[in-house]
Structure 1
Amino acid sequence: MPATRRGSNRPSIFQVAHLAGVSHQTVSRVINHSPDVSAPTRAKVQDAINRLGYRPSNSARALASARSRTIGLIAGGVDHFGPVSSITSIESIARQHGLFMSVMMVDEASCTQADFESMCESFLQQNVDAFIFLTPTDAMFEAACKAQVSQPRVIVTSTHGAMRADEGLSLVRDSRPIAMTGIDQWGAVQEVARLLHARGHRTALYMAGPTEWRDAATRLDSWRAAAKHYRIRTVVVRSGSWRARESYALMNHLIDERGMNGSSLPSVVVTADDNQAVGAARALHEHGLRIPQDISLVGFDDIPTVDNMYPPLTTVRPRFADLGVATMRQALALTNQGAPVELPVTRHGVGLIQADLVLRSSLGHAVSRL
């Protein structure tokens, strides 16, 4: 049981030192996990901390170490499964290292450079040790690169877009350390195309995502390269959003158009996002087209519930939690609190986390079109 406090006064580091019979500098070393304390002394100090109910002041620790132990996170795309999953993982790793996350979530569609600089200024007033920027759109990525901050930054992004990730680095105006992390979406789409080719698919409808999203650009560029390599004739349709209702409307239009002009449907529909796959599946079902007996369907992201679609959806499962871990470890490394992450794949300056192809029954062998 903690010792009873006198009045409402908060126990001090000096009281802990007095109870443990050590100097306050030794208590400080224990609190900050210094290796320069013997095990018996550490145990004695910890016992005193527990008895007094002492809690170290983060502001005092910041003054002593010249660190705030706070990471500033600016994130877009928080209405979507991937970014939220990564943020959860980032916050968990920060807590494990005794760090605080200060988070600002923004509308990725309307965020301007001025908005971004204003948020950074708010974080600078908190004396954050580093920044993490989740930048799903071209505008956010450019703003993150141009941001006038002197602290280290980790940018979470996709490799392709209006500019490649490495081209964005030329916009950085400060010499402080910078790292970029992301999901290997290029490699995942290549794997999808390889499997489709192996199952005899030579015609496809590719439903691309909104043009301002870097994920959409990366997946589309990779698909075009893979389709050319595997000789898969492709019709590309562009969606203005990731919403299922828009892909439903697009799929309906395509089916009706093909029916009117007498041309056949492709053997597979590949969508840049699982929400799009949900909308496409509804349209196919309403037109009496069976998946995969009449046409196959593939998505991307493996969001919750798609394994319970009818039929269960073949999709790509990005390792979002691993991305969060790698991002936080890069931030720690840039602030001299650990070794940098060695990732197996790097493209255009972005250290990439693997994404896995999850094969389910919505993908069959190609159906011959007479």
Structure 2
Amino acid sequence: MSSTADIRNAKKRPSIFEVARSAGVSHQTVSRVINDSPDVSETTRAKVQRAIDRLGYRPSSSARALASRRSRTIGLIVGGMRFHGQLSTMGAIESVARSHGFFISFGLIDEAKDSKRDVERLCGMFLEQNVDAFIFLAPTDMMFAAACQTRSSKPKVIVSATHGKMSVEEGMTHNRGSGVASFLGIDQWSAMKDVATVVRGMEHRSALYLSGPPQWRDAQTRLQAWQTYCRQMSIQTCIVRARDWSAGEAYALMNHFLDEIGRGGSALPTVVVAASDSQAIGASRAMHEHGIRIPQDVSLVGFDDMPGMDNLYPPLTTVHPHFDQLGALAMREALALMGEGPHPLFRESLHGAGLVPATLMKRRSLAKARMH
């Protein structure tokens, strides 16, 4: 229960007008300082800040929302948050939002279990909070379709891979009748082209590709790109399809593949390319237990550049998606859709989406092919 002193102190909370009187400026000038407007001299800004510090003034978020008709809150709906890429993207979104005076309200989706209805229900809860915009980190086909089909007049930024059961162009069609939407992603086609080019340049002509779970758009995009560039570069590739991203399943699949090779007497591929670093770790263990040396016998390539991959033995060649840049640009795009700044520039805009680059990190797990 609040004491009489607490109530009295609450009533004495300083107002913007008291700050203005103390600093000898108008309340509009105080407002400009609070909102970090450039239209205030450094001398005046310092004087107002001293008055704010002296009085202990804190802007009322509810009053600001009432005046601007905005909650200054972004609804962020995330699937696959236990993965490195999603966490990195989320951190960058929150950092940029905070630097612009926005709050992030998180909604977490279990992409393996939840349905479109769960996504729609979460969107409804955010609309009750009067969020100013939505950002979706939608790694699966289900989440991507739900994000596109959710009816709302609020701006939407949908972050996902470019390929899957529903194309970005189809997603735009489903979004008609709702608020404006933008689509962002990692340039995974260019990344896989870089992998195929380097692999072929090191004289690898036979490869094993460990694909990711088919419901993930990243997995579908990387697989389509890899197969396309292998055909163009005459790399014969065997596709082993995984049900999840785990190192454990990749280990089991790689063990089975190597046992089959041993029984049939076939030649080993000269390189294993995995759709994720976790899968590369599982494949590495299986090859080690079969006495296969990396890269002397078989080279190994991953994707994601998770922390520690440069200290794997041998250090893993992998693709480094710029997840922090993706998150920052997603939040800046949301700000632009709300009229709070310019649209960010993307190096590439393909397949209906603005794309953020990914860099191939060449390390010792990839070497020139050994002729078997």
Same fold (TM over 0.5): yes
1:236-276 deviations in whole A, cap 9, x for unaligned?
01000000010000000000001111111111100000000
Q: Distance in 2 between matches of 1:368 and 1:348?
A: 39
| CA offsets 1:101-159 (integer angstroms, 9 cap, x no match) | 11111101222221111111111111111110000000000000001111101000000
**How do 1:49-198 and structure 2 match up within 5 A?**
49-198=52-201
Distance 1:263 1:36, change over 3 A: closer
Answering whether residue 39 of structure 2 is matched by residue 7 of structure 1, we say: no
Inter-CA distance 39–291: structure 2 relative to 1 (3 Å threshold): closer
Deviation at 1:346, TM superposition (A): 1.2
- How far, CA to CA, are the matches of 1:119 and 1:15 in structure 2? 41
CA gap 1:36/1:361 in 2 versus in 1, 3 angstroms:
closer
**1:64 and 1:331 mapped to 2: Cα distance?**
21
State the shift of 1:36 in Å.
Answer: 4.7
**CA-to-aligned-CA distance 1:153-197 (integer Å, 9 cap, x gap):** 100000001122222111114352211111111110011000111
Whether 1:215 and 2:232 are equivalent positions in the alignment is: no
Amino acid paired to 1:7: N
Residues 184-193 or 8-17, more deviating = 8-17
2:86–2:137 CA contact under 8 A, matched in 1: yes
Q: Distance in 2 between matches of 1:6 and 1:39?
A: 35
**1:349 counterpart = 2:326:** no
Distance 1:341 1:256 in 2: 50
**In structure 2, what is the equivalent of residue 272 of structure 1?**
275
* Distance in 1 between residues matched to 2:365 and 2:235, nearest whole Å: 19
Report the secondary structure of 1:362's partner residue.
Answer: coil
Q: Which runs of 5+ in 2 are unaligned?
A: 1-6
Q: Distance in 2 between matches of 1:117 and 1:67?
A: 22
TM-score (structure 2 length as normaliser):
0.95
Measured in 2, the distance between the counterparts of 1:367 and 1:40 equals 69
Aligned amino acid, residue 176 of structure 1: G
Contact 2:151–2:178 under 8 Å retained in 1: no
Deviating above 4 A after TM superposition, structure 1's stretches of 4 or more consecutive aligned residues are 35-40
Greater mean alpha carbon deviation, residues 42-51 or residues 324-333: 42-51
* Range 102-111 or range 36-45, more displaced: 36-45
Q: How does 1:285-324 map to 2 (within 5 A)?
A: 285-324=288-327
Q: TM-score, normalised by structure 1?
A: 0.95
Structure 2 residue matching 1:104: 3-state secondary structure: strand
Q: What is the alpha-carbon distance in structure 2 between the residues aligned to residue 275 and residue 223 of structure 1?
A: 18
Q: Alpha-carbon deviation of 1:14?
A: 2.5
Q: Which amino acid aligns with 2:228?
A: A
Stretch deviating more after TM superposition (172-181 or 238-247): 172-181
Q: Residue 152 of structure 2 contacts residue 178 of structure 2 at CA under 8 Å; is this kept in 1?
A: no
Number of the residue aligned with 1:360: 363
Residue 122 of structure 2 aligns to a residue whose secondary structure is: helix
Q: Superposition RMSD on alpha carbons, in Å?
A: 1.5
Structure 1 residues not aligned, in runs of 5+: none
Among 180, 184, 209, the residue aligned to 1:206: 209
Shift of 1:40: 4.2
Q: Distance in 1 between matches of 2:197 and 2:47?
A: 61
CA distance in 2: counterparts of 1:77 and 1:234, whole angstroms? 29
- Work out the number of aligned pairs and report it: 365
2:21 paired residue number: 18
- CA distance in 1 between partners of 2:46 and 2:360 (Å): 49
Per the alignment, in what secondary structure is the counterpart of residue 9 of structure 2?
coil
3-state DSSP class of the match of 1:290?
coil
Whole-angstrom CA distance in 2 between matches of 1:266 and 1:257: 13
Name the structure 2 match of 1:228: 231
What percent of counterpart residues are identical? 57
Offset, 1:227: 0.4
